[in-house]
Structure 1
């Protein structure tokens, strides 16, 4: 039995490594030309047998910041409404 925690990777580190390797071979890789490349990067990692983690996913951070902003707005409105 292995008592060591599972090894995790920042998806962008791995994608950057792959892209640099491809560029060194004279290729010109692109991802997400029309938007966030996170989903495509995750697909690349899955193809390599790597499970992407949330720590490296910018979309998770953006969603969290949006939710926190909404909560702050709601709390400020409640404070204004109740005169705290």
Structure 2
């Protein structure tokens, strides 16, 4: 594991997670919980694909594990996607 894979770095790119949440209500619940974390700037949800994708952008370094644990506490999974697409 590297620093980049274990953290969400501040900026416009953010980090994308796949989630098993399906409905708009489930995704809204995740978004409302995530936005309360210190350092989270915004969350973008892609509902056009399955599994749904959540992109988290930050103003400070936030650990991926912290995001995953929060989403897991709501009963869903958050799997980080690869930073680089081959």
Give TM class, smaller chain. Answer: 0.3 to 0.5
Computing the radius of gyration from Cα coordinates, the structure with the larger value is 1
Q: Which has the higher contact order (CA 8 A, sep 6+)?
A: 2
Larger helix proportion, structure 1 or 2? 1
- What TM-score, normalized by structure 2, do the two folds share? 0.32
Larger strand proportion, structure 1 or 2? 2
